[in-house]
Amino acid sequence: MRTHTEILRDFESIAGPIGPHAEVLREYADKLQEWDEFFAKAFYDRLFSYDPTASIFRDGERTEREETLKIWYRKVVSGEYDDTFWEWQFRRVGLVHVARGIPNEFMLAAMAFVQNVFLMKVKDEFPPDEAARIYLAFKHVTDAIATIIAAGYMYTYLEAVSESTGMSLKLIERHAKLVAQREYADGKSE
């Protein structure tokens, strides 16, 4: 399995460094952290209003989930990131959801929702230029987390297929290419 450090290095090389965005968030962290309750409520109102996501939660789990989401949000907008932070995103935000059977598309859609809610809030609370700077910073960091979540999801499934079938990761990759070529070719003839 690729490590969170390797995934993050790819992200920064392709999308751009996180450092300058972290600096912007540090500048506004005190104010942004005040929105934790608002965020947790908006997030779980949305997940509980759609049956496929609502059915994942156990009875009485919402309070605990809101508390962990508040911690996550406050940490993200703190702009203070060390290796422990990124490892936390990989394991406790990424893999913990794989272990609960939550599809990757739910995770990425939920992150898009988080970004949209943040944009609406920041537009209400700051003048346009500042709002754009803060939103870009938040988007960059949460895009990095989404990348780590998606990669962790795929590598976990690849490891699972490899372990249960005895196929090497190389062989699975070669087979995936063949399946993709076939599907691509099928699509072209439609």
Size of the site for ligand HEM (CB under 6 A): 19
> Site residues for ligand HEM, window 63-102 (CB under 6 A)?
65, 68-69, 72, 92-93, 96-97, 100, 102
State the amino acid at position 89 in one-letter form: Q
CB neighbour class for 188 (10 Å; exposed up to 12, middle 13-18, buried from 19): exposed
C-alpha–C-alpha distance, residues 119 and 113, integer Å: 10
Least separation in angstroms between residue 100's CB and ligand HEM is 5
Cβ of residue 150: shortest distance to ligand HEM, in angstroms?
Answer: 11
Instruction: Determine, following the binding rule CB under 6 A, whether residue 141 of this chain makes contact with ligand HEM.
Output: no
51 vs 190, beta carbon nearer ligand HEM: 51
Check: CB of residue 142 under 8 Å from CB of residue 30. no
Kindly report the three-state secondary structure assignment for every residue of 79-133: CCCCHHHHHHHHHHHHHHHHHCCCCHHHHHHHHHHHHHHHHHHHHHHCCHHHHHH
Any contact of residue 57 with ligand HEM (CB under 6 A)? yes
State the Cα–Cα distance between residues 66 and 60, nearest whole angstrom. 11
What is the footprint of ligand HEM within residues 110-139 (CB under 6 A)?
Answer: 110-111, 114
Closer CB to ligand HEM, residue 84 or residue 189? 84
Comparing CB distances to ligand HEM, the nearer of 71 and 180 is 71
Structure tokens at 122: 């920041």
Binding residues (CB under 6 A) for ligand HEM: these are 47, 53, 56-57, 65, 68-69, 72, 92-93, 96-97, 100, 102, 106-107, 110-111, 114
